[in-house]
Amino acid sequence: MAGTSVELKLQEVTRLQQKLNSFVLSGGDKTRLLKSLGIVIEEQTKERFDTKRDPSNNQWQEITDAYRKYLSKHFPGARPPLVREGYLRNSIENQLRGSEAIIVGTAMEYADYIQNAKNEKRRREFLGFSTDNIIELEDAVDEFMKETVS
């Protein structure tokens, strides 16, 4: 992904790793698990565009009056930035990175600017993990394990 992304390495998320250590997974099971976690992370990321909150649950900054006027003039009836057409939100995808990690992000060229803008008013962090996100991933691991063991 050329744009910007976040990577989940199982060994870096201690609580997830502890859960997984209690199970023995074949290579195929581990791949299925990573793919299912990738889908959960995609949905978590896309939800940030709906709630307009970053991974730390902070509200995205409101756009400036000057930018609002610019949008009104050049894009009458436009929705707020990042949801105007939904291209960035809809471009979020996941990919396996080897057998131990999943990467979630976008290939959109402007994504890195939006994620990491130096100007607070322009930054809209959408990639990353909150405590609630990690808990949701742990629940997904539990559910996967129940289905795999049964």
Backbone angles phi, psi at 9, to 5 degrees: -100, 120
pLDDT of residue 148: 77
Tell me the per-residue pLDDT of 33-53, one tens digit each, with 9 for 90 and over.
889 999 999 999 999 999 999
DSSP assignment of 57-82 equals -PBPPPPPHHHHHHHHHHSTTPPPTT
The predicted pLDDT at position 89 comes to: 93
Counts for the chain of helices (H) and strands (E), in that order: 6, 3
List, edge to edge, every strand of the sheet that includes 101-106.
Answer: 4-9, 101-106, 93-97
Q: Are 85 and 92 in contact (CB under 8 A)?
A: no
Report whether pLDDT(104) > 90: yes
Instruction: Dig out the tokens for 13 from the structure.
Output: 């998320």
Q: 41 and 92 in contact (C-beta within 8 Å)?
A: no
Per the confidence metrics, is the pTM higher than 0.75?
yes
Better pLDDT: 150 or 122: 122
